[in-house]
Structure 1
Amino acid sequence: MAPLAYVCVRPQAGAAAGEFASFRSAMRRDDLAQLDLVRGPLPDDVFDRYAGFVVGGSPFNLTDPRSSKTDVQLRVEADLERIAERAAAAGTAALFTCYGIGIVTRMLGGEVTRAYPEDTGPSSVRLTDEAAQDPLFGMLADRFTALTAHKEGAGVTPPTATLLATNETCPVQAYRVGDRLYATQFHPEPTGPAFTERMAVYRDDGYFTAGDYDAIAARVLAASLSEPTRLLRSFAARFAG
């Protein structure tokens, strides 16, 4: 069984490759495997092959009307739900990020809406009291900076989840379900330079005004991003098998 797999849900090959490299570097796992759900379905034996999963972000939006979603997006959503359901039942470990937190929230019966977007760039995140008892979040600073860029989110933690991190703009920043399923709204994996490269790929996709790229990139490059990567290393250390 391989230790962990990165699950790609980005159609843009360049952004996907950069995200994979960021997860591998942040987790310090050269043996991190890769599953590309955009270009193929989740293998039937996937839970026998890997001890756990980290799920990347995507330009897909869960709240788009079903009639507007491609067959690929619908399959991606169904495959991600399989991983989330398995982790919620303690059959594997998984950390869902950004777009992925919406998948988990919907699977748990929560509501994802367009009411809680966050601008592209650094955001301030604070831990909840419950986070102090969590084996992953309990090692982080009470307040830290993380990178965000999303058009949808949740205002209330879904049923059965324990809220671990929050902020004023998007109240549900991170939560845990049971002891093996985690989800974050923020991106825990990229360095500042890696995030600006991803911004360049999506500069015309409505996350920010294209003409503001240089100003936003400067804020990203100046941000201290130590805590989110510590979270990933803790996840890897705990669940890599």
Structure 2
Amino acid sequence: MRPVRLLVAEGNPPKMRERHAAVSGRTPSQFYADVLAMLAEDLGVAAEIDICFPADQGANLPGGDLAGYDGVAITGSGLNLWKAEPESLAQVEFARAVYASGLPFFGSCWGLQVAAAAAGGEVKLNPQGREIGIARSIRITDAGRGHPLHADRTEVFDAPAIHSDEVAVLPPNATVTATNELCAVQAAEIRHGKGVFWGVQFHPEYTFAELGGILTRYTPVMLKEGFFREPEEAARYVSDLVALDDEPGRKDVAWRLGIAPSVLDPKVRRTELTNWLRSQVLRTASARGRA
């Protein structure tokens, strides 16, 4: 069985991903690639994964070379599409190229927003504010029931998340498959050109340690926005996340943070990524004689 070939697009420009790596040890794209490789192995296939940087000035993007891949995924990002910065607009153009290639396409958080914008949707600052830490009570919509993106999910679930923006205007041929009270589009399928995109506003790829590293960087913002009253309170929250990553069986920590057993299970947490690999990527690779 041949390895599948995947391309991970880093959502952050250089300085942002360097700041992330300084705290978390890896850039978002490196972390994403490692998770995809592990999930592919769980499905019985090896994965060869490349990383590209569409936000970088002068980046040599794959373009027509996308045909050599079996799937493309976009990571999260600290950028905001409504600011229309060159680093953001370049990623929208990249997403259009992925749609045109017809390859299986996935995105977490920023990835969903970029894919929506590339297909004609609009992303805005969420008037309800930031969703950070754990997104609560995400509910599968009527259209999402039976959709392979959410196979094996319970109808209501929680998930790691961090975002202040949302898909405010859906593009044509988009189907919302999950929602919650704070963000109307928690997951969606978007059909555009030759392509089909599956994406989520939350972060199925995150570990609690990764989330803790991000919240460490976001502590000044969270203090300003009222999530914590004192830096020490934020530090305790992050410490609990890291402890839970080391010992998922810490019932006391899970209770204190209000984290459900299903969120503690990495296989359940990464349901949508696994389903994309199984239903979209492996099917494409098999049709092309790769798997």
Larger gyration radius, structure 1 or structure 2: 2
Change (3 A) 1:225 1:3: farther
Q: Distance in 1 between matches of 2:273 and 2:91?
A: 23
Q: CA deviation at 1:116?
A: 4.8
Q: CA deviation at 1:25?
A: 3.6
- Residues 55-102 of structure 1: per-residue CA shift (max 9 Å, x gap): 1000010011x3xx2x4443233213322x336xxx111011111222
1:66-81 to structure 2, matched below 5 A, reads: 66=84, 69=85, 71-81=86-96
Counterpart of 1:53 in structure 2 is 72
Counterpart of 2:274 in structure 1 is 233
Q: Could you tell me the TM-score, scaled by structure 1's length?
A: 0.82
Unpaired segments ≥5 residues, structure 1: none
1:121 aligns with 2:138: no
Q: CA deviation at 1:3?
A: 2.5
Change (3 A) 1:219 1:168: farther
1:110 aligns with 2:121: yes
Contact in 2 for aligned 1:18/1:198 (Cα 8 Å): no
Given candidates 15, 37, 54, the residue that maps to 1:37 is: 54
Give the 3-state SS of the residue equivalent to 1:136 in structure 2.
Answer: helix
Residue type of the alignment partner of 2:8: Y
Q: Distance in 2 between matches of 1:120 and 1:18?
A: 19
% identical aligned pairs: 23
Counterpart of 1:184 in structure 2 is 200
Change (3 A) 1:18 1:4: closer
Residue type of the alignment partner of 1:183: G
Change (3 A) 1:186 1:202: same
CA RMSD of aligned residues (A): 2.7
Residue type of the alignment partner of 1:229: R
Q: CA deviation at 1:177?
A: 2.2
Q: Distance in 2 between matches of 1:52 and 1:110?
A: 22
Counterpart of 1:213 in structure 2 is 234
Contact in 2 for aligned 1:166/1:173 (Cα 8 Å): yes
Give the 3-state SS of the residue equivalent to 2:177 in structure 1.
Answer: strand
Contact in 2 for aligned 1:156/1:171 (Cα 8 Å): no
Q: Distance in 1 between matches of 2:176 and 2:6?
A: 24
Q: Distance in 2 between matches of 1:216 and 1:20?
A: 27
Change (3 A) 1:147 1:113: same
Q: CA deviation at 1:237?
A: 1.7
Higher helix share: 2
Identify which range, 22-31 or 131-140, moves more after superposition: 22-31
Counterpart of 2:9 in structure 1 is 7
Give the 3-state SS of the residue equivalent to 2:67 in structure 1.
Answer: helix
Residue type of the alignment partner of 2:183: C
Residue type of the alignment partner of 1:120: I
Q: Distance in 2 between matches of 1:156 and 1:75?
A: 20
Give the 3-state SS of the residue equivalent to 1:105 in structure 2.
Answer: helix
Change (3 A) 1:175 1:73: closer
Q: Distance in 2 between matches of 1:116 and 1:22?
A: 31
Given candidates 100, 107, 123, the residue that maps to 1:86 is: 100
Q: CA deviation at 1:194?
A: 1.9
Residue type of the alignment partner of 2:275: S
Change (3 A) 1:73 1:104: closer
- Residues 92-139 of structure 1: per-residue CA shift (max 9 Å, x gap): 110111112222222333332112543320112111122222122132
Q: CA deviation at 1:203?
A: 4.0
Counterpart of 2:108 in structure 1 is 97
Contact in 2 for aligned 1:121/1:219 (Cα 8 Å): no
- Residues 122-160 of structure 1: per-residue CA shift (max 9 Å, x gap): 112111122222122132111111111111103454321
Q: CA deviation at 1:181?
A: 1.2
